[in-house]
Chain A
Amino acid sequence: MTRGLLHWIDTRLPVVSAARREFRDYPMPVNLNGFWNFGAILTLSLLLMLATGLTLALTYVPNAGLAFASIQTIERGVPAGWLIRLAHQTGATLFMGALYLHIFRGLYYGSYKAPRELVWLTGMALLACAMVTAFAGYVLPWGQMSHWGADVITGAMAGLPVVGPTLSHLVLGDTHLGDVFLHRLFVVHFATAFAIVGIVVVHVACVHVAAPNDPDGRDPRSPRETVPFHPYFTAKDLFGLALAGGVFTALAAFAPGIVREAANLAPANPLRTPNDIVPAWYFLPFYGLLQIVPSKTLGLFASLAAIVLPGLMPWLDRSPIRSARHRPGFRIGMILMAAGFVTLGLAGAHHLQGLWGIAGRIAALAYFGVFVAVPFARRHPS
């Protein structure tokens, strides 16, 4: 009965055979390690964000006067509303964390190299969309951190040369942060979230056309070096998802302070800036850069470059060897880059106080230095 129906659909629209070909029989390299789990983790996190987000939007009111109260209604009035909101906040942390690790995997094992440049570019577009979505989502509760985070970002936008004032006026839609701005960000939060879904489809299609990279960075030479996606990688992904679920639950239950900001439990007050204002953890490296660079415009460009430079890796890195496993110098560079990114975040969180100021500057040099040095790396190691 089911078989007959599937056959009937497949002869008219071959989705069933396509699904079998791409997600059951698809040949996968035998040697993929745990770093290859993040795609599945990100997909499930995205579904969780969509489900919880749509549920929250049923109660949330995008109005400067009512937004904060509607969040309190979600927390206290809606049955299980507190759980759905906590899952949405924890999901944001899980998504951004998994995304950074997924991108590091791509850089370390050279997954951006030909023929996977489009995989890489769609992935970086996804990062950009995720950052916009995360920022907009952070503003929606209209607490103190929402308001002053938005104030800083719109101020930064206005600081961009030439387009700055127009861009910030377009986003604000008013002379001050208020109703129009909040409603626009609510729509942006949705629009970019669904854009992410679309980009993910293209991203996965690109991966399946180009075939996945592997830790050795050399494509399987024969079918004997591949195994079918199901059951080998469905099982491995399921294991990775179970671990991610553990991290998710532990964060939500034991460390909610990481995924939500206590200072945001005060309603937005345009007459007073909170004493200690820091962004969500996943924006800390960029926040650190803004503090380190002693110029408004250059600081913005540095933050922008921190995302654009990795996006250019397929053209910066001209070595024919993909994986850092077989490139000792590149391996050190990748570790330096990652350490620099993390240290920048820590320095940002500590407002560059004491030794963090020096550590942050060294970290910024290390991070950018790697991308500057990559084009000069030996193209044919001995």
Chain B
Amino acid sequence: MTAAPPRTRRDVLSLATTATVACGAACACVPFALSLSPRGDAPDSAPVDVDLSKIAPGAQITASWRSLPITIIHRTAQTISALKTPDQPLRDPDSHVHQQPDYARNWHRSLRPEFGVYVAVCTHLGCIPALDDDGYTCPCHGSGFDLAGRVLVNQPAPYNLPVPPHDFASATTLRLGINPDGHTFDLSGIVQL
């Protein structure tokens, strides 16, 4: 191995020039990168009230909260009993994965068995699952969920549908975005939205 040739004055000047130009170019990139950074405030997190008296048993409505589609389903007595003893195998029937507040970690995944409240965003790739006879089916890749938003086994979707923070402001008014007294829950803490 031969010794490196001695460093000349020109080498040093070239290196200094290149370094200066590189620093300048890097600095020039900063405003462009800044301009691409996400803008605006966090989505409006104000609570949203939903009138439950307008949802007939067996029907559901979709409300918008924090720009998310929130499905509120009014379950019939029949479907409620089906949730207790599911006839299809479920991936996470007991809601072990943190996709819901503690007050919805039960067999019906909600505060009251007759009302289910879910973020209607498929945990696979984000489409909105459609309601059919005994559950939900995602139109994009066919993931199936039961009426409590629990994902069936052998589906592309890995987790149950998230449950947003919610409480009942009155007997017929559901309030999205707040928790019952004594609970703290935020969607930012869940495994996957």
Interface set of A (CB-CB < 8 Å, partner B): 51, 55, 58, 77-81, 83-84, 87, 231, 235, 238
Q: How many A-B residue pairs have CB under 8 A?
A: 28
Say yes or no: B39 contacts A84, CB within 8 Å.
Answer: no
Say yes or no: A78 contacts B32, CB within 8 Å.
Answer: no
Say yes or no: B35 contacts A84, CB within 8 Å.
Answer: yes
Add 14 more A-B contacts to A80-B32, A80-B34 (CB < 8 A). Answer: A78-B35, A78-B39, A79-B35, A79-B37, A80-B31, A80-B35, A81-B35, A83-B31, A84-B31, A84-B32, A84-B35, A231-B14, A235-B17, A238-B21
Determine which of A58, A79, A238 lies in contact with B34 in the assembled complex, contact meaning CB atoms within 8 Å: A79
Q: How many whole Å from A230's CB to the nearest CB in chain B? A: 11
Residues of A close to B14: CB separation below 8 A: 231
Bound together, the chains give a CA A238 to CA B21 distance in angstroms of 9
Interface majority SS (helix, strand, loop, mixed), chain A: helix
Interface set of B (CB-CB < 8 Å, partner A): 14, 17, 21, 30-32, 34-37, 39
Residues of A close to B21: CB separation below 8 A: 238
Which single residue of chain A is at the shortest CB-CB distance from B29? Answer: A51
Q: How many whole Å from B8's CB to the nearest CB in chain A? A: 13
Q: How many whole Å from A39's CB to the nearest CB in chain B? A: 18
Bound together, the chains give a CA A78 to CA B39 distance in angstroms of 7
Q: How many whole Å from B15's CB to the nearest CB in chain A? A: 13
Q: How many whole Å from A265's CB to the nearest CB in chain B? A: 21
Write 28 A-B pairs (CB below 8 A) sorted by A numbering.
Answer: A51-B32, A55-B32, A55-B35, A55-B36, A58-B35, A58-B36, A77-B39, A78-B35, A78-B39, A79-B34, A79-B35, A79-B37, A79-B39, A80-B30, A80-B31, A80-B32, A80-B34, A80-B35, A81-B35, A83-B31, A84-B31, A84-B32, A84-B35, A87-B31, A231-B14, A235-B17, A238-B17, A238-B21
Residues of A close to B30: CB separation below 8 A: 80
Residues of A close to B36: CB separation below 8 A: 55, 58
Which single residue of chain A is at the shortest CB-CB distance from B21? Answer: A238
